[in-house]
Amino acid sequence: MDEVPWSDSITSYDRQHRTIYLRILDACADNASVEEMADLILGNDPILEPVRARKAVRSHIDRANWMGDDRLQATVRQLNYRAGCGAF
């Protein structure tokens, strides 16, 4: 998806793509380039479609950061518990 569907609450897209959010945050922490994240995490070709790739990465970074906000930690833990997952 080019842009993450935005909502003030956690969406089904968020639930389905939490691994992508984690990979994006890890990549940011490792100073990966937008091009690397677009290609390796989102599967977008940053050479053929640089604007689309950059837009998709930015959208996922923004949502991943929003998900990581302190006010959402309890909700994220609850989602993981329901899904039978480890720490988010």
Answer yes or no: is pLDDT of 36 > 70.
Answer: yes
pLDDT computed for residue 72 by the predictor: 57
Answer yes or no: is pLDDT of 30 > 70.
Answer: yes
pLDDT computed for residue 43 by the predictor: 95
pTM: 0.76
Q: What mean pLDDT, rounded, does the chain reach?
A: 83
pLDDT computed for residue 77 by the predictor: 62
CA distance 67 to 73: 8
DSSP code string of 18-58: HHHHHHHHHHHHTT--HHHHIIIII---TTT-HHHHHHHHH
**Band (62; pLDDT cuts 50, 70, 90):** very high
